[in-house]
């Protein structure tokens, strides 16, 4: 019996090898980053890689690379020491760039922070001089396979790593006069399982600072609260909020040394609470090869770590997945509150990144409609027409952030002045039937 079961297992293994196949896509390989405060360096980058700032590089995923992704996605980052020997923050971002643009301005396109990590105190003269980070972002694999998104946008991947060399210039042998800070490598690993998707992706907040002393950083000066209202066009299933927060600061008053309770509300109901920080930072001590190490050379107990430090140099910042389940179309409100945060001398802040992702429940709406219509052409570069013999009461065009940017009764819409990208067309007929369609401006 055991022999027969083993045979069956091997047969399944042989006939389904694709279930275990993985493809590694190298995004960046040992790209050097430079002083984040200095002017943009004039140094070469690998083919296809754009350096927007000394701390930000990017490149576009090719059609072949997109085709290789299945329904899983792991992000592997490795940071190698150069001439920054302090703990810094790094990020992996996704940028949705209108189709066929040769480049883009980072602040003018929709961006999603996929992952955040902290560098250790590294001295490149000592081993280990490289620290690895791994993130599971299976949800993003669906975005790479959504036909509407990839028809309207090119997907660019950014590696962001801020560093400064000033301390290392005097503290690390061989770093005098240098302005390079770290080397960065980024790989995506996915299986080869075929998958299609019908996703809704709504960027809500990208690395925006939250504090209580700076106008515009919170709902009101004196509060550490941010409220974000947004619109969902259609009912969603399997909806999640993806939240990344970490405390930053400097000196004894910096919030990175204090574990504050964070409270998350959705539509007026608290759905989560957490205090940042790990049980212990000791597993990362091996990567902290600089003399001042991981806040000193003596190991600390778990209780000592938990009494003051909410981050560990050399670790990842968690991606907090807040499950919403089914979300009905309409206006929704997200709120993050850190009521006990203290920002001594105007120092410290919480960079907050947030996006919503879910499955669109509206598929081929005209298939179930009592009215007869079609759009042409779609995609379009200027004019799109709703072709129908039924009477229209109103049309409205909504952008990816849920903002209505056009409304009227004319069956022909001039989109020539719209930015390239994905829009939702809401069609209201005289019989009170309301239908929605994705339209693409190229």
- Tell me: the pLDDT tens digits for 92-123? 999 999 999 999 999 999 999 999 999 999 99
Q: What pLDDT shows up at residue 20?
A: 55
List b or e across 111-126, with b for residues whose CB sees 16 or more CB atoms inside 10 angstroms. Answer: bbbbbbbbbbbbbbee
Handedness of CA 209, 213, 217, 219 (dihedral sign): positive
The more confidently predicted of residues 431 and 190 is 190
Q: Distance between CA 437 and CA 426 in Å, rounded?
A: 7
Residue closest to 159 by CA, chosen among 78, 230, 213: 78
Tokens in use for 348?
A: 């410290």
Residue predicted with more confidence, 365 or 340: 340
Contact 159, 343 (CB under 8 A): no
Cβ(123)–Cβ(60) below 8 Å:
no
Average confidence (pLDDT) over 55-61: 98
- pLDDT tens per residue, range 250-309: 656 567 778 899 999 999 999 999 999 999 999 999 999 998 778 888 999 999 999 888
**pLDDT over threshold 60, residue 313:** yes
What does the mean pLDDT of the chain come to?
89
Beta bridge partners of 265: 270, 335
pLDDT per position as a tens digit, 342-355: 887 788 899 999 99
Q: Which of 232, 252, 250 is nearest to 240 (CA)?
A: 232
Q: Is the dihedral of CA 434, 367, 390, 421 positive or negative?
A: positive
Q: What is the rounded average pLDDT of the residues 69-80?
A: 96
CB neighbour list of residue 95: distance below 8 Å, 6 or more residues apart? 58, 104, 106, 109, 110, 111, 112, 155, 156, 157, 158
As a whole number, mean pLDDT of residues 137-146 equals 93
Q: How confident is the model at residue 372 (pLDDT cuts 50, 70, 90)?
A: confident
90 close to 160: Cβ distance less than 8 angstroms: yes
Q: Which of 159-173, 220-234, 372-386 has the lowest mean pLDDT?
A: 372-386
Higher pLDDT, 119 or 441: 119
**Percent of the chain surpassing pLDDT 70:** 91
* H helix count then E strand count, the chain: 6, 25
86 pLDDT band (50/70/90 cuts)? very high
Q: pLDDT confidence of 198, banded at 50, 70, 90? A: confident
Angle at 101 between CA 97 and CA 107, to 5 degrees: 45
The fraction of the chain above a pLDDT of 90, given in percent, is 63
In which residue are the tokens 């009764």 written?
409
Mean pLDDT of 404-427: 88
Q: Mean pLDDT, to the nearest integer, of 57-76?
A: 95
CA distances (Å), 352 to each of 53, 216, 241, 293, 434, in order?
A: 21, 14, 13, 28, 36
d(CA 168, CA 232): 48
List the one residue out of 165, 140, 125 whose CA is nearest residue 38: 165
The per-residue pLDDT for range 226-244, each reduced to its tens digit, is: 999 998 988 899 999 999 9
Q: How far is CA 270 from the centre of its chain?
A: 23
Give the pairing of strands 316-317 and 373-376: unpaired
The Cβ-side half-sphere exposure at 260, using a 13 Å CA radius, reads 24
pLDDT at 342: 85
Tokens of 238: 């399997």
Q: Which domains does the chain have, with CATH numbers?
A: 26-191 (2.60.120), 198-363 (2.60.120.230), 365-441 (2.60.40.1930)
Residue 252: what pLDDT?
61
Would you give the end-to-end CA distance of the chain in angstroms?
Answer: 61
Token couple for 303 = 């209780």
| DSSP state for residue 393 in the 8-state scheme | E
Instruction: Tell me: pLDDT of 368 over 70.
Output: no
Amino acid 432: pLDDT: 64
CB-CB neighbours of 149 under 10 Å: 23
Environment class of 390 (CB within 10 Å of its CB; exposed 0-12, middle 13-18, buried 19+): middle
Determine the pLDDT at residue 212. 92
Q: Which range (42-51, 86-95, 169-178, 433-442) has the least confidence?
A: 433-442
The residues with which 330 forms a beta bridge, in sequence order, are 232
Q: Coil, helix or strand for 9?
A: helix
Output the pLDDT for position 15. 40
Mean pLDDT of 309-325: 94
What whole-number distance in Å separates Cα of residue 242 and Cα of residue 229? 16
For range 147-174, the mean pLDDT: 95
Q: pLDDT class for 56, splitting at 50, 70, 90?
A: very high
Q: Where are the beta strands (DSSP E) in 82-217?
A: 89-98, 110-118, 130-136, 153-161, 180-191, 199-210
pLDDT at 325: 95
Q: What does the pLDDT read at residue 247?
A: 87
Query: What is the C-alpha to C-alpha distance for residues 323 and 269, in angstroms, rounded to an integer?
Result: 13
Structure-block tokens of residue 203:
């960027």
Higher-pLDDT residue of 248 and 161 is 161
């Amino acid at each position: 019996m055991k022999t027969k079961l083993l045979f069956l297992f091997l047969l399944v293994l042989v006939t389904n090898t694709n279930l275990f196949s993985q493809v590694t896509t190298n995004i960046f390989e040992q790209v050097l980053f430079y002083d984040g405060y200095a002017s943009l360096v004039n140094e070469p980058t690998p083919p296809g890689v754009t350096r927007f700032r000394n701390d930000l590089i990017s490149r576009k995923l090719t059609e072949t690379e997109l085709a290789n992704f299945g329904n899983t996605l792991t992000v592997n980052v490795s940071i190698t020491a150069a001439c920054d020997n302090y703990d810094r923050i790094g990020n992996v971002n996704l940028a949705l760039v209108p189709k066929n643009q040769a480049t883009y301005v980072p602040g003018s396109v929709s961006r999603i922070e996929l992952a955040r990590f902290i560098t250790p105190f590294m001295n490149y003269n000592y081993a280990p001089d490289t620290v690895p980070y791994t993130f599971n972002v299976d949800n993003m694999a669906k975005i790479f396979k959504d036909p509407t998104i990839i028809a309207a946008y090119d997907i660019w991947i950014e590696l962001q790593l801020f560093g400064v060399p000033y301390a290392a210039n005097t503290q690390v042998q061989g770093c005098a006069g240098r302005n390079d800070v770290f080397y960065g490598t980024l790989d995506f690993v996915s299986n080869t399982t075929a998958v299609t998707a019908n996703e809704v992706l709504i960027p809500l907040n990208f690395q925006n600072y939250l504090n209580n002393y700076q106008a515009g950083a919170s709902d009101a000066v004196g509060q550490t609260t941010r409220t974000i209202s947004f619109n969902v066009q259609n009912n969603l299933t399997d909806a999640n909020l993806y939240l990344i927060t970490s405390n930053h600061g400097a000196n004894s008053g910096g919030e990175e040394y204090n574990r504050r309770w964070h409270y998350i509300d959705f539509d007026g109901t608290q759905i989560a609470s957490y205090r940042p920080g790990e049980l212990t930072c000791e597993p990362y001590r091996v990567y902290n090869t600089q003399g001042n190490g991981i806040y000193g050379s003596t190991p600390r107990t778990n209780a000592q770590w938990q009494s003051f430090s909410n981050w560990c140099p050399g670790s990842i910042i968690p991606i907090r997945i807040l499950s919403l389940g089914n979300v009905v179309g309409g206006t929704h409100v997200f709120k993050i509150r850190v009521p006990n945060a203290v920002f001594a001398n105007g120092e410290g802040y919480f960079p907050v990144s947030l996006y919503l992702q879910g499955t669109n429940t509206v598929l081929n709406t005209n298939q179930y409609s009592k009215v007869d219509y079609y759009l042409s052409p779609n995609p379009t570069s200027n004019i799109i027409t709703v072709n129908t013999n039924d009477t229209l009461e109103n049309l409205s065009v909504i952008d990816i952030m849920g903002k209505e940017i056009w409304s009227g009764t004319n069956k022909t819409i001039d989109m020539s002045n719209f930015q390239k990208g994905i829009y939702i067309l809401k069609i209201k007929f005289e019989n009170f039937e309301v239908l929605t369609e994705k339209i693409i401006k190229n």
